[in-house]
Each structure stands twice: as structure tokens, then as C-alpha cells.
Amino acid sequence: MTGVPLCDLQAQYRPLQSEIERAVCRVLASGQAILGPEVAALEKEVASYCGAAYGVGCGSGTDAISLALHALGIGAGDEVIIPPFTFFATAGCVVRTGATPVFADICPDTFNIDPEQIERKITPRTKAIMPVHLYGQCADMKPIWEIAAKHGLPVIEDAAQAFGAEYQGKKAGSLGAIACYSFYPTKNLGTYGDAGLSVTSDPEWTERMQVYRLHGMKPKYHHQVVGWMGRIDAIHAAILRVKLPHVDGWLQKRRNAASRYDRLISDAGLDGWITRPVEAKDCFHTYNQYVVRVGEGHRDALVKHFQAEKIGYEIYYPMPLHLQQCLKHLGYGHGDFPVSEAATRCVLALPMFPEITLEQQTRVVESISAFRSQATPMRRAA
Ligand SMILES: *Cc1c(COP(=O)(O)O)cnc(C)c1O
């Protein structure tokens, strides 16, 4: 019985190995390991890829979000509206500025923040709205832009999972005031370690982010604000520059793989039993993850089956942020965000990477079918 990995990074590395090694050696030989020409070139290339004017490379996607919040002057007493169904960084960065994350529930079909829930959360203390483009698909930006414009609020894109995603033909990264990317290895564009980047078209915010990523230092040894050491390593910039020209091809392969899953699931008669991901209107989904919904109460049994069958999977995310121990002081409880809470009980990410083969995907879907035929009758997927 052959297993299928959730993600296979080696499959992407192998064809680029010599080019990546040359890029790394170029940095080592140059003696310029911190910032320098590789970082400047990556910042320019990523900004131009996504239709923004400037990029600021940093240590991680988490740093990118922190830089954006600091550049916008967000701190104690301020509120930032975010979804509760996302990776912890979205909320953690807000808390660490001293501001308060205010949650707005998600849409049940796309798992992205629900614009209707945003508006009722706006108070005089609201300083920004930060939608997350979850699983590689942009949030429903048009109504978010309208709400933001009406209340004079900047929009920060948490685009960590959505490099290359589009909304109304425009790339994630050009859909708000500042957008934040992660180059964590398994993201759409990933390096071999931690790195991130923020993009914006505002020169003033760019300069502030450059200052915050260097301990608020400007000029040298004079600190206007308290920043931190949040630079991107030149080695990662060089690796990412090798990979960037390939990213569109990889996204197309992810989309092809998603279509194959759609067809295999449908042909196996599994529709209604599991719910396939929804590609929303105006969205170019990049399938950083292919996440299905499994009939409530049965996801965890399927997970055990996958473990036995060596099928890779992940649950993004098993607990919503409003119920996390460290955010207890915000005073939320069970039932406050029912759509997010329901999502945590039924989502399941299937193996997904650009190089996944039809055989591997067939194996995954056959495994689900086998589980279904031996399982007790189930309620239909939500
Ligand atoms: C990965 C991720 C981040 C953080 O990126 P790191 O590079 O791991 O710091 C932030 N938000 C979301 C939604 C993510 O998926």
C-alpha cells in the first residue's frame, strides 16, 4: 500500500536544484548576507509581480503582518477586525502591537471573512480590517472595500496562503493598503526556512516598514521607534528569485490538480458526503490547500482511516482563535462564531502540491470511498 504525502517539497526542488545551489553560492561568495542586492531585487520583482509599487522583505509572514500593523500606527487602544478561522499569526500580531483583535465570522462556503459580519463590528476604535485569503483564495473584497471606504479604514491583506491569487483579475497584494506574504516552505512560493514580504504602493508606509524591520533605526544607531530585527536573509531572497518565475506554472498545476480531485470525487459518488471547495465569483483560487468538508461527526474517523492508509492530511484549523487559551481575556465563548466553530469540526485538507500525480489523487479518493462504504450511514456534509 503506497502512501501519499500531504506535500512533497523534494518534487519541486529536484528540477531546480542546480539553479538554487548556484544562487545560494552566489550569495555566499558575495559576502553580502544581510539585505543587499538580492533582497532589493526580490522586493522589486515581487512587487511588480503582484501590481504593487514597493516590497519590504522580512523574516516571516508573521513579520510581514507585524510590519504592516506598525506602519499603520496601530497600537494600544486600537481594534483590528479579523476572522477567527485562520492561522494564529493573524491575531497574534495584532495582540503584540497592544491592539485588540475583533473577530468577524466567516462565510460557510469559502471559509473567508463574511463582509456582512465586518460592518457590525466597527467601532470608533477600529483602525483596520485584515481579511485573510484562506487556502489560497481571496476574500470577497468588493464589499470589504465599500465598508472600508465608508468608514475610512485601511485594509491589510493577510495573503500568506495566497501568493498569485486573484480577485477581479487583480493579484492578491494589490487589493488593499498593505499585503503580507509568507515564504514558509509549503506556501505557494516557499523557501527553505522562514521568510516573508510586505507589499504596498505607499512610499511612506514602505519607509516605515523598512525602519521597523531594523529596530526602528534611522539614521544608524538612532532609534525613532521601537522595532525589531525582522530582515529577510539574502540567501532566502536569492532562492526565491530562482523560484518566482516558476510560480504561475505551479499555480496552474495546483488548479489542474484541484479539477482532478473535483472530478474524481464526483465520479466516485462522494458529493454530498464530502463537500468540495468552492471557487467564488471573481476569484482565481490558487489551492494552496484543497480543503473538503466532511459530514459533521465523521471527520475524525476519516482522519484515523487516513493515518492507517498513510494518506497525508491536515486540519486547518482544529480550534478557532476566539477560543484559544491565550485570548481568553477577550471574553469570547463557544457559540460566538458558529460558522467558524462548525468549520473546525469538518474541514480536512487533502494532499496537494503542484507535482501531485493523477495516481496519487486517485489513491486518496479511493481511500475515502473505501472508508465511506465501511462506515455507518452518515448525515450529509454541511
Ligand atoms: C503561514 C501564515 C502566516 C504566517 O506566516 P509565517 O511565515 O509562518 O510567519 C500568517 N497568516 C496565515 C493565514 C498563514 O497561513
Q: How confident is the model over 133-166, as pLDDT tens digits? A: 999 999 999 999 999 999 999 999 999 999 999 9
Select from 3.30.420.40, 3.40.50.1370, 3.30.230.10, 3.90.1150.10 the CATH code of 247-374. Answer: 3.90.1150.10
Q: How confident is the model over 278-322, as pLDDT tens digits? A: 999 999 999 999 999 998 789 999 999 999 999 999 999 999 999
Spatial separation of the C-alpha atoms in residues 17 and 23, rounded to whole Å: 10
Per-residue pLDDT, averaged over 50-79, amounts to 98
Nearest CA to ligand 1 atom 14: 160
How far does the centroid of ligand 1 lie from the alpha carbon of residue 60, in Å?
8
pLDDT value at residue 299: 96
CB atoms within 10 A of CB 165: 27
Place of cell 471559509: 111
Residue of 269, 290, 264, 261 lying closest to 373 (CA atoms)? 269
As for ligand 1, residues whose beta carbon falls within 6 Å of it are 60-62, 86-87, 89-90, 132, 158, 160-161, 182, 184, 194, 196
Per DSSP, the three-state class of 185 is coil
How far does the centroid of ligand 1 lie from the alpha carbon of residue 180, in Å?
9
Contacts of 257 (CB under 8 A, 6+ apart): 287, 290, 352, 353, 354, 356, 361
Spatial separation of the C-alpha atoms in residues 335 and 313, rounded to whole Å: 27
pLDDT band at 382 (very low <50, low <70, confident <90, very high): very low
pLDDT value at residue 377: 55
Q: How confident is the model over 171-180, as pLDDT tens digits? A: 999 999 999 9
> In the chain, where are the structural domains located?
9-104+112-245, 247-374
pLDDT at 381 over 90: no
Task: Outline where DSSP puts E strands in 264-354.
Answer: 274-275, 283-284, 290-294, 347-350
pLDDT at 375 over 80: no
Per-residue pLDDT, averaged over 203-210, amounts to 98
Q: Give the β-pairing of 166-167 and 283-284.
A: antiparallel
Number of helical (H) and strand (E) elements in the chain, helices listed first:
12, 13
CB atoms within 10 A of CB 155: 21
pLDDT band at 376 (very low <50, low <70, confident <90, very high): low
Phi, psi for 79 (deg, rounded to 5): -125, 145
pLDDT at 53 over 90: yes
Contacts of 321 (CB under 8 A, 6+ apart): 82, 84, 85, 86, 88, 90, 91, 101, 103, 327
Phi, psi for 291 (deg, rounded to 5): -110, 120
Q: Give the β-pairing of 196-200 and 178-182.
A: antiparallel
pLDDT band at 17 (very low <50, low <70, confident <90, very high): very high
Q: How confident is the model over 222-245, as pLDDT tens digits? A: 999 999 999 999 999 999 999 999
> What is the CATH T-level fold of the domain 9-104+112-245, as seen in this structure?
Aspartate Aminotransferase; domain 2 (3.40.640)
**Most informative mutation of 60, 62, 85, 112 for ligand 1 (most atoms within 8 A of CB):** 62
Looking at residue 178, what DSSP letter applies?
E
3-state secondary structure 348-360: EEECCCCCCCHHH
